Amino acid sequence: MKAICVYCGSSSGTRILYQERAKKLGEILASRGLSLVFGGSRFGLMGQVAEGALSKGGKVVGVLPEALKSREVAHSGLSELHIVKNMHERKAKMADLADAFIALPGGFGTLDEVMEMITWNQLNFQAKPIGFLNVDGFYDLLFQFLEKAAEDGFINPGLVKALVLESEPGILVERLSNEPWPKLAPWPVIS
């Protein structure tokens, strides 16, 4: 594994713990020689995870849509910054550059990005590990929903089990690095 894509908010959230864990995750990625691929902004949790990686000499690659260049304000200290046409190109470029994905706390954009990668895995378009940094239970309700959707036959149950949910950044990175994405049965099951 060479690069991990981190999805997170361009907002910092209301709790300092979110910012601290984002920065710590960036530090851990750099200290393990893993490149950070992220949304390219200097604001919010995006800025914190980038600062963490940069503070430890890590390679940090941003991918920012042209339309958000002025709103999200591109981080100026990155190893690489790719400016793309739109969100579709952003997600495809980030996926292409990454070997695994982590979702930090965030909102609609974070969920959109990580859910698309989960869907790509479910459809066997890719087979890349996906994890969630569950800061103070942030993703507990989402995982309850996913388990219910799997129980009711809308999601491959093996897919939900394959997602890595951890509260500590170091443990999450370790698991993503050492637990390959499992071979899943074709989905959906047509009966």
Among residues 160, 165, 129, which one has the least CA distance to residue 4? 129
As a whole number, mean pLDDT of residues 125-133 equals 96
Residue 184 located in a structural domain: no
pLDDT tens across 139-177, in order? 999 999 999 999 999 998 899 999 999 999 999 999 999
| Side-chain half-sphere CA neighbours of 120 within 13 A | 18
- Predicted confidence at residue 72, as pLDDT, reads 60
* Entry pTM: 0.95
Decide if 148 is inside a domain.
yes
Q: For 84-104, how does the pLDDT look when each residue is reduced to its tens digit (9 = 90+)?
A: 999 999 999 999 999 999 999
Q: According to the model, what pLDDT value does residue 185 have? A: 79
Distance (Å, rounded) from C-alpha 19 to C-alpha 143? 22
Quick check: 126 pLDDT over 80?
yes
User: What CATH number does the domain containing 13 carry?
Assistant: 3.40.50.450
Half-sphere exposure at residue 83, Cβ-oriented, CA atoms within 13 angstroms? 10
pLDDT at residue 190 above 80? no
Look at residue 183 and tell me if it is in a domain. Answer: no
Q: Could you tell me the residue range of the domain that residue 150 belongs to?
A: 3-178
pLDDT in tens, 26-66: 999 999 999 999 999 999 999 999 999 999 999 999 999 99
Q: Helix 44-55 vs helix 16-31: angle between axes, to the nearest 10 degrees?
A: 40
Is the Cβ–Cβ distance between 124 and 91 less than 8 Å?
A: no
Check: CB of residue 49 under 8 Å from CB of residue 23: yes
Does residue 59 form part of some domain? yes
Q: What's the number of domains the chain is made of? A: 1
Which tokens sit at 133?
A: 């940094």
Question: pLDDT, tens digit, for every residue of 10-30?
Answer: 899 999 999 999 999 999 999
Token reading at 59: 């390679």
* Partners of 102 in the β-ladder: 6, 131
Angstrom CA distances, 135 to 17, 42, 85, 148, stand at: 8, 21, 32, 22
Q: Is residue 185 one of the residues assigned to a domain? A: no
Domain for residue 41, yes or no?
Answer: yes
190 within a domain of the structure (yes/no): no
Domain assignment of residue 136, yes or no: yes
